[in-house]
Amino acid sequence: MATVDIFVGNHTVVDPDIYQLWINGYSGFEAAKLQQARGVQQKFGCVFDDIVSDTLDYYRLFTSLERLLKTPPKLVDQQVYQLDTATLRLLIQQYYSIDPSVVREILGKKLSARNRKDLDDVNEKTKVPLRSCRRQFDNIKRVFKTVEDMLGSLVQNIKKHYLVSEQLAKQYAAIVFITNNKFETGKKKLSYLTFDDFFHCADKMIANWSYSSEDCENHEDMDVDLDRNFLQELRDLKMLLEKEYLDEHKSIALQNVKSCVSEKIYQDMDSNFRTFSKTIVNIAYGLNHSKEAKDIFVDIVEKLIEPFQQLRWHQADVSAFLTAYKEACHQMEFFMQVDPRLLSVWERYMNTLSSCILQMYHT
């Protein structure tokens, strides 16, 4: 008489490899084929039908969990599936994971039903399965709708409501910030920029130009918006374009940078200083007007990066110019005697703008 050992338990087991395939948008059969290609059949001495059956079982589990994954706190609080802390963390983090190439295509677009229907184009361009593109689009839309009107820190609000890691929350915060401010990201001139470039810039803007900045007096306001008081103060920087201050600014900046760059680069800076200064100050001034603010990335590329590249400046040359340009103001009469309070506004503006320019300056 044969003896059969039977074990019955209520602990829900999740295979992380199969879950990742589900997250990546593969069908159950496609996932089984990939499992077979990875040597699962040889490892466990089974037939392909067993792999298909096992994979489909997991897929049914993941599909039933998806309703709860859309509201992670509910997944944590539910009693139907017995999941340990590590598994819960894996399920949530992977479900809200993003593919930079997919998000780059979605970034800046309206999160509308029409654009969701156009994800076929994103699938074709990125080679990421359509199901994964839809998951990411829906997650971005869901997170945006949840936090767009909330007071306080974007990152903390996202972490609280979606239980994702700090880094992933920052990525979603950057997407929400760019979407909310309607920043242009889709123009041809910007096509060379990656999601990481936009993430870097948005993260700096949130940290320094929004209501969460250490320099902001009202931290309780919405983090998705730029600090209105800061934007108003930026208008006063127009004084830097008056001939008296422009000449002083140029003289100090060129004196400070002369030992850091070649003679050719120095002559370029001398010849183009007024043009570059006008652009930098006008970008600051334009942040007060939504139509101009939304083109900040276009303006940076068109009016600064492309001219730098035409002059054949290396990134180190750009960095030297921006540093000298910013630091010169510490020695200027305008900032030291006429309006000393503006020095902190200038630093707050230039530190972020310089960081964005250097991130976007691909060579």
The identity of residue 193, as a single letter, is L
How confident is the model over 105-121, as pLDDT tens digits?
A: 999 899 999 999 999 99
Rounded Cα distance between 325 and 276, Å, is: 10
Report pLDDT for 219: 56
The tens-digit pLDDT sequence of the chain (363 residues) is: 566 544 444 689 999 999 999 999 999 999 999 988 988 878 888 888 888 999 999 999 999 999 999 999 999 999 999 999 999 999 999 999 999 999 999 998 999 999 999 999 999 999 999 999 999 999 999 999 999 989 888 999 999 999 999 999 999 999 999 999 999 999 999 999 999 999 999 999 999 999 877 777 765 566 788 999 999 999 999 999 999 999 999 999 999 999 999 999 999 999 999 999 999 999 999 999 988 999 999 999 999 999 999 999 999 999 999 999 999 999 998 888 777 889 999 999 999 999 999 999 997
The domain ranges of the chain are 16-95, 100-186+196-226, 229-360
* Partners of 220 in beta bridges: none
Report pLDDT for 197: 98
Question: Can you tell me which residue has the tokens 């997650």?
Answer: 139
Task: Decide: 25 and 129 in contact? Cβ < 8 Å.
Answer: yes
| C-alpha closest to that of 298 among 192, 200, 184, 204 | 184
Distances (CA, A) of 114 to 111, 119, 121, 195: 8, 9, 12, 22
Task: Decide: 229 and 216 in contact? Cβ < 8 Å.
Answer: yes
SS3 35: helix
How confident is the model over 151-196, as pLDDT tens digits?
A: 888 999 999 999 999 999 999 999 999 999 999 999 999 999 999 9
Burial (CB count <10 Å: 0-12, 13-18, 19+), residue 308: buried
Tokens coding 260: 């850091």
Task: Decide: 352 and 205 in contact? Cβ < 8 Å.
Answer: yes
Task: Decide: 318 and 358 in contact? Cβ < 8 Å.
Answer: yes
Rounded Cα distance between 161 and 75, Å, is: 12
Measured in degrees and rounded to the nearest 5, phi and psi for residue 101 equal -70, -35
End-to-end CA distance of the chain: 75
Task: Decide: 26 and 129 in contact? Cβ < 8 Å.
Answer: yes
DSSP 226: B
- Report the b/e string of 14-34 with b at 16+ CB within 10 A: bbeebbebbbbbbebeebbbb
